[in-house]
Amino acid sequence: MRIRGMLAEPRFHHVMTPNSEMLVEACRNTAFRKILQAAALNLPDSIGLKWMAHLTGQTLPARVAGVDTVMALLKNLPEEHAVFLLGAAEGVAERAGGVLKKMNPRLKIAGTYAGSPGREDAQTIIDRICQAQPHLLLVAYGAPKQDLWIAEHARVLLSVRVAMGVGGTFDFLAGTAHRAPRWMRSVGLEWLWRVLLEPWRLKRIWNAVVVFPILVMRYGREAPTL
Residue closer to ligand UDP by CB (options 2, 203) is 203
Nearest to 109 by CA among 128, 92, 94, 87: 94
Q: How far is the CB of 46 from ligand UDP (least distance, A)?
A: 10
State the residue number with the nearest CB to ligand UDP.
167
Which residues make up the interface to ligand UDP (CB under 6 A)?
Answer: 87-89, 116-117, 140-143, 145, 167-168, 170-171
Q: How far is the CB of 181 from ligand UDP (least distance, A)?
A: 17
Residue closer to ligand UDP by CB (options 178, 221) is 178
Please give the DSSP secondary-structure letter assigned to residue 87: E
Residue closer to ligand UDP by CB (options 89, 187) is 89
Q: How far is the CB of 134 from ligand UDP (least distance, A)?
A: 18
Q: How far is the CB of 52 from ligand UDP (least distance, A)?
A: 19
Spatial contact of 44 and 50, defined as CB atoms under 8 Å apart: yes
Q: Name residues whose C-beta falls within 8 Å of residue 192's C-beta, 6 or more positions apart in sequence.
A: 180, 184
Spatial contact of 21 and 207, defined as CB atoms under 8 Å apart: yes
Residue 137 pairs with which residues in a beta bridge? 84, 163
Residue closer to ligand UDP by CB (options 4, 177) is 177
Nearest to 137 by CA among 120, 115, 105, 119: 115
Q: How far is the CB of 215 from ligand UDP (least distance, A)?
A: 19
Q: Omega of the bond prior to 144 within 30 degrees of 0, cis? A: yes
Residue closer to ligand UDP by CB (options 116, 133) is 116
